[in-house]
Amino acid sequence: MSPAIGIDDLAFATGSFRIDLAVLAARLGADPEKYYRGLGQSEMSVVAEDEDIVTMGAAAAQQILDRSGGAGVRTLMFATETGIDQSKAAGVYAHRLLGLGPNVRVVELKQACYSATAAMQFAVALVARDPSEKVLVIASDIARYQLDSAAEPTQGAGAVAFTVAANPALLELHPANGVYTDDVMDFWRPNHSTTAIVDGKSSITAYLDAVAGAFDDYLAHGGVPFEQIDRFCYHQPFTKMAVKAHRHLAARAGSELDPAALQAQIEPTMGYNRRIGNSYTASVYLALLALLDGDEDLTGKRVAIASYGSGAVAEFLTGTVADGYRAGLRRAENEERLTGRTPVDDAAYLALQRTAARPDPSNFETARQTPSPFRFGGVRQDQRVYEPTA
């Protein structure tokens, strides 16, 4: 009999700084409630000058390796939509920082905010072939938009790392899944730009259509009906998007649950994303982690993962929360990681944002700011420099 396969460990990291959205509201001439209630966001993470997707991703993965070591890890997949090189995988830098051995395959995956779920599914296939192996998945992104734009309050930064293994300690993934792809220009980042281009209205429509299409495909491929799923984790570019998506999906499925009951199915997933902001590929797994870290005993519950990436690709799948899952959580440490971020005012935040758009990206050094275990030292003759902080 084949063993269960799923997520065995899950950790996150984020930027060292945070800014309350009321601070942005003051500069943008908006009522803070527009962001607190309208977007469902309270603050967002901001990266230090010497932090990027590699340092955050490695910091998340280090927590997993500190606990269980690297035994059995023969594959590292790095999912990101804010890649740092057109050729070399960001995961290769993380591989060195983490001290993994040479006999590990490393690859980077890209499709907007969706690609961590693709990495997870590819990992399941590798573990099914050899259950003695583990796959380390890192999803790390920094969401940046034009300053003074309507999208600026939906920025953020964060990373998750998780291992996919046989007999998982957190979540057993089910075989049924649904997928959906459509060529939509709702959100993209051209090679010449450090910030994304967003068509806000069409992006919301594309998100809803893609998640609904993936759910329909999930049902057509052996998935259970909506009413048999206990909790739902959605990609959250802002947390109110999860509310829109869940109501849309419930209506499509003919659910008779009232609005309060529908909200109860998703509210526990929003805590981390509400405080971190948009983390692109990491977002739906931060939703899962917030759910697992919550007060409710989820043992044996069926949890859905609704993953979306603009452009657009979506996937819908479910898993069962494992017995004893709470022993594998880092609830107190996760809260400390969020409360330990340094608050910045608007002037400091703007300085960090402008520093990120360097006039000469080929050669520069970064200021030492991060308390993270790893730092980005800058670029020397077009070569990125990473090092431990200690």
Cα(206)–Cα(144) distance, rounded to whole angstroms?
20
Which of 156, 129, 130 minimizes the C-alpha distance to 142?
Answer: 156
pLDDT bracket for residue 343 (50, 70, 90): very high
For the sheet containing 231-234, what is the strand order? 105-109, 73-79, 134-143, 156-166, 5-14, 171-181, 313-321, 302-309, 231-234
Helix axes 239-253, 200-220, angle to 10 degrees: 40
Asked about 108 being catalytic, the answer comes back as: no
Is pLDDT above 90 for 195? no
Q: How far apart are the first and last CA of the chain?
A: 47
Average pLDDT over residues 87-105: 98
| Strand 231-234 relative to strand 313-321, pairing | unpaired
Q: What 8-state DSSP symbol labels residue 57? A: H
The reported pLDDT for the residue numbered 2 is 86
Amino acid at 227: E
Q: Which residue would you say has higher pLDDT here, 250 or 192?
A: 250
Cα(297)–Cα(329) distance, rounded to whole angstroms?
13
pLDDT bracket for residue 327 (50, 70, 90): very high
pTM of the model: 0.97
The reported pLDDT for the residue numbered 357 is 84
Identify the bridge partners of residue 304 per DSSP, sorted by sequence position: 232, 318
Least confident of 17-21, 85-89, 198-202, 299-303: 198-202
Average pLDDT over residues 247-257: 97
Catalytic residue among 49, 95, 113, 246: 113
The reported pLDDT for the residue numbered 361 is 86
Is pLDDT above 80 for 31? yes
Asked about 246 being catalytic, the answer comes back as: no
Is pLDDT above 80 for 1? no
Average pLDDT over residues 365-370: 97
> Which residue segments constitute the domains of the chain, with CATH numbers given?
5-385 (3.40.47.10)
The reported pLDDT for the residue numbered 202 is 85
The reported pLDDT for the residue numbered 191 is 86
Asked about 113 being catalytic, the answer comes back as: yes
The whole-chain average pLDDT of the chain stands at 96
The reported pLDDT for the residue numbered 188 is 85
pLDDT bracket for residue 379 (50, 70, 90): very high
**177 three-class SS:** strand
Catalytic residue among 43, 81, 108, 152: 81
% of the chain with per-residue pLDDT over 90: 93
The reported pLDDT for the residue numbered 177 is 98
For 138-179, how does the pLDDT look when each residue is reduced to its tens digit (9 = 90+)? 999 999 999 999 999 999 999 999 999 999 999 999 999 999
pLDDT bracket for residue 333 (50, 70, 90): very high
Least confident of 98-107, 149-158, 338-347, 350-359: 350-359
